[in-house]
Amino acid sequence: MRSFSISTLVRRLLVSGLAALPMLSAATDVPTADLKGLTDPPGIKRYAGALLVYRDDVAYDELKFPSAKVRDVAEAYPALARSGKRVTLQYTLPAARSSLEVIRNYQQQARSDGFQPVFECAGDACGADGLQLKYSVVAAMLPSRFFDQIGDNSVAACGAYGVSAIRYALLENKATGATLAVAAANPEISSAYCADSFQKQLSVWVTRIEPQAREQQMVALSASEMAKSIDADGRVALYGIYFDTGKADIKAESKAALDQIGELLKQRADLKLHVVGHTDNVGGMESNMVLSKRRAESVVAALAGNYGVNRARLTGNGVASLAPVKSNTSEEGRAKNRRVELVLQ
């Protein structure tokens, strides 16, 4: 078994809560190369000598990048909320390179790519410093699933327990709408799974979000499913009718949903409906009220013009964000609130 100083042993057991001493002999070591299968994404350069130990990509995500001091990410903090295509990376490199040197190099590269600084902090000015990473400013620039993904004994986890000397920089490219956050910190090992050599490393995190339209994945309800909901509840919510942001023109991919509404109205010749547009709470109430009504009227016009439905059977109305079905505090909730409803007259 490897030997450990009494202080190191006690610290590991107290912080990690582990009492099984044999686990100490299988501590995760600092890697000598990028972890298998990981590569840099296009458009993001790494600091020389850095090794990639974590990468997470999603087609559409939302993060609230801290734009001021953060004492605890579980509490409210000033932020730059951005959504779109996201990639998050974690690197490790020898601590002979300081967090200041790494951050300055990333900032220089970002400026040459058209980014401008939004916020920067170091140490206590960032908020929680010398504590667990999950409570610090860095945690807010990481995906919510980060800590579950890295687990307890991965290389990424060994660089992301207790940290100190945090540096954080937030930059934005107004021309492209892209947002870039970079952070660096010294790991303070607090897990029995990790070799002491990680204390001689520097951890670097990079997250980039680029504007990208959310993929439309909602499946259009069938005419019979619409009828069943209207008969049972007097209404049915539809998510298969699409509009560009701030516009009322129906997009071509809405045809499947419109076909089913047309079929419903053909089968139920006595049916009279309110077509009601709903928005999320992004934007002003007055403008959203106008927008939601215009969208509803666009649906009425499409049904009358393309499916031969008598306009007297349909009335277009808009209620903006006054009738949410989910909280507007997340993109998932806002997506559920953007909808068209058919309501029995």
Please write the tens of the pLDDT for every residue from 294-319: 999 999 999 999 999 999 999 999 99
Task: Give the residue among 45, 50, 37 at the shortest CA–CA distance from 208.
Answer: 45
Distance between CA atoms of 303 and 227, rounded to whole angstroms?
A: 17
Which residues, in sequence order, are bridge partners of residue 317? 276
Q: What is the 3-state secondary structure (H, E, C) of 146-189?
A: HHHHHCCCCHHHHCCCEEEEEEEEEEEECCCCEEEEEEEEEEEC
Model confidence pLDDT, tens digit, residues 101-145: 999 999 999 999 999 999 999 988 988 665 688 888 999 999 989
User: Alpha-carbon dihedral of residues 40, 44, 48, 51, nearest 10 degrees?
Assistant: -30
Give the pLDDT score at 294: 96
Strands 339-344 and 162-173, bridge-based pairing: unpaired
What's the mean pLDDT when you consider all of the chain? 86
DSSP state of 264: H
Written as one string, the DSSP assignment of 75-103 is: S---EEEEEEEEEEEEEEEETTS-HHHHH
Burial class (CB in 10 A: 0-12, 13-18, 19+), 284: exposed
Give the pLDDT score at 218: 55
Give the pLDDT score at 7: 39
Range 223-344 classified under CATH 3.30.1330.60: yes
Task: Give the residue among 202, 152, 199, 201 at the shortest CA–CA distance from 8.
Answer: 199
Share above pLDDT 70 across residues of the chain, in percent, rounded to a whole number: 89
Model confidence pLDDT, tens digit, residues 48-88: 999 999 999 998 888 999 999 888 777 888 899 888 889 99
Task: Give the residue among 339, 342, 344 at the shortest CA–CA distance from 278.
Answer: 339
Question: Which residues lie below 8 Å from residue 313, measured CB to CB, with a gap of 6+?
Answer: 265, 271, 272, 273
Give the pLDDT score at 65: 94
Q: Is this prediction's pTM over 0.85?
A: no
Burial class (CB in 10 A: 0-12, 13-18, 19+), 273: buried
> What is the residue extent of each domain of the chain?
6-210, 223-344
